[in-house]
Structure 1
Amino acid sequence: MVYVEVDRDIRLHVQDLGSGTPVVLVAGFGLDHQVWDRQVRVLAERYRVICVDQRGHGLSDKPLGGYGVDRLGLDLRAALAALEVRGCAMVGWSFGGQVAFQVAAEDPGLVERLVLVGSNGVRASRSAEFPFGLVPEKLAPPLVEAEKRDRLSARRATIAGGFAENPGEDVLRWLLDRSLQMPSWAAVSCYESMLFTDLTAEIPRVTMPVLQLIGSDDPVHSAKGARWLNDRLSDSRLVELPGCGHYPMLEAAAEFDAALLAFLDGR
């Protein structure tokens, strides 16, 4: 476990285990390196596995600002530069997938392979060009209001609503504990960043091999949106996990690991 300074007086928490080709794991909204526990155990047998907690998340610093996707991308690139990482496979889940997509577009020399998990990569809301989900002007206000009114209940409802089936109290409580490490100011800023960011113009710049791992019943980033992106990327493979929601590393762990390892191994 290390801390890396990525901005003035801002440090990110990094878990760096194993050796070999680097695989970088970036969790989604409110969550941290601990959601990748199983994948770290599996991948570290043959790869160097690096989990980065984004600013405002997990054990990283939680400043009042700096939560735009561009800034979060710069944070991630600075952390990996400090660790002397180049030519990595980058795995981004949900909001982390948007950040990973931005980094891949901006720095293809850093990202040789990109994996989007439960993420449509370019958008998390509807636009004229991307006709999936709700428009951000309708989606953002109730999420922000709920966060400000009762963050514990709001986070619990958001997490539970992402599963295809009831996750069970132990799993829900564990994820909620992870999520509540993110303070309300970071959550509000990340909601706005996540829902209003548009990376569709960056699609032609993402030319490395891409794997999309999406649950067929994901209510957050839809399989339809993943198919839309798959059709527009130059080198993309789409794996839909049947009966799975927004948490494939938990809901369909064995299938998720098999697809991820096959892609990383070049199979």
Structure 2
Amino acid sequence: MRITTSDGVTLHVEDTGHGAPIVFVHEFAGDCRSYEPQVRHFSRRYRCITFNARGYPPSDVPASPDAYSQARARDDIRDVLDGLGVQGAHIVGISMGGFAALHFGLTYPHRAKSLVIAGVGYGAPADKRAQFAEECEVAARRFETLPAAEAAGSYGRGPTRVQYENKDPRGYAEFMAQLAEHDPRGAANTLRGVQKRRPSVFDLAEAMKALPVPSLIMTGDEDDPCLEASLFMKRCIPSAGLVVLPCTGHTLNLEEPAAFNAAVADFLAAVELGRWPRRDPRSLTGSILGTR
């Protein structure tokens, strides 16, 4: 299925199952195929919607980096919902998709039944902003100049991916093969337009404190760039829970699909039943033993 966004870009969309809708938003190194373990699991009870972001064929690959941004990634989720006639959905995002899910909830809270914000934090600390921007530019040039497999190999073997390779060599090899199929121009434009320029989660504190949407923050405990950001989001979002998967890196939904699916399933069930809580203000007094 193909859906045209409000700025004229056509996206590849897959729609599986019946029930309350879940939109899965993929990471930079993935595409809609990255959620296969989730679609197979959740489509038994939910309507599962996946799509390839702009720059990821068979979605369109706009030529200019200006067609890519954090705001545009956010609005592409909205346009997918509009194209399918869906008013509200659970939004599940990982890494780049997690940033998009968060921004979708901040801007369109009335259309988000819940948010799963996983693997979010790359480049967020103030002392890492310049380094992250530089590494994004280096990676973009590699996608533009190196053979696809070599550029993918460089990106996909980062320090938060080795955990996946060690646990599941077969799954990791499939992940790397799919990454090597990505469009070089789309990858470079996404790095420059979305990744490099997106705002830090640490600059969103006040907006997150007002976020009314039930939220689940997820990270792997060996995904170092995301640990502090995950704690920060947990502390800011009044309705947020935090799941940390042990001995796990960045590609957490593929690296630990059973644990990921179980945590998300419990969260969605609680939300659907109206039983997902907001933080009790009595837990925020600043006291350690309750003596203040």
Unaligned residue ranges in structure 2 (runs of 5+): 271-275, 277-292
User: Aligned in 2, Cα 1:212/1:132: closer, same or farther, shift over 3 Å?
Assistant: farther
TM-score (norm. length: structure 1): 0.88
Q: Could you tell me how far 1:133 is from its partner in structure 2? A: 7.2
Distance (whole Å) between structure 1 residues aligned to residue 173 and residue 239 of structure 2: 38
Q: Could you tell me how far 1:103 is from its partner in structure 2? A: 1.2
- Which has the greater radius of gyration? 2
Kept in 1, the 8 Å contact 2:13–2:52? The answer is yes
Distance (whole Å) between structure 2 residues aligned to residue 149 and residue 86 of structure 1: 42
Code of the residue aligned with 1:119 in structure 2: it is V
Q: How does 1:8-19 map to 2 (within 5 A)?
A: 9-19=8-18
RMSD: 2.1
Q: Which moved more, 1:65-74 or 1:14-23?
A: 65-74
User: Aligned in 2, Cα 1:9/1:229: closer, same or farther, shift over 3 Å?
Assistant: closer
User: Aligned in 2, Cα 1:133/1:242: closer, same or farther, shift over 3 Å?
Assistant: farther
Residue 84 of structure 1 aligns with which residue?
Answer: 85
Residue 241 of structure 2 aligns with which residue?
Answer: 237
User: Aligned in 2, Cα 1:209/1:134: closer, same or farther, shift over 3 Å?
Assistant: farther
Code of the residue aligned with 2:93 in structure 1: it is G
Residue 174 of structure 2 aligns with which residue?
Answer: 174
Residue 287 of structure 2 aligns with which residue?
Answer: none
Residue 191 of structure 2 aligns with which residue?
Answer: 191
TM-score (norm. length: structure 2): 0.81
Kept in 1, the 8 Å contact 2:55–2:186? The answer is yes
Code of the residue aligned with 2:258 in structure 1: it is A
Unaligned residue ranges in structure 1 (runs of 5+): none
Q: 2:261 pairs with 247, 250, 257, which one?
A: 257
Q: 1:163 pairs with 161, 164, 173, which one?
A: 161
Distance (whole Å) between structure 1 residues aligned to residue 238 and residue 191 of structure 2: 29
Q: Which moved more, 1:194-203 or 1:104-113?
A: 194-203
Q: Could you tell me how far 1:134 is from its partner in structure 2? A: 6.3
Count of residue correspondences: 260
User: Aligned in 2, Cα 1:181/1:55: closer, same or farther, shift over 3 Å?
Assistant: farther
Q: Could you tell me how far 1:140 is from its partner in structure 2? A: 2.7
Structure number having the greater helix percentage: 2
Q: Could you tell me how far 1:9 is from its partner in structure 2? A: 4.5
Kept in 2, the 8 Å contact 1:6–1:12? The answer is yes
1:222 counterpart SS class: helix
1:265 counterpart SS class: helix
Residue 64 of structure 1 aligns with which residue?
Answer: 63
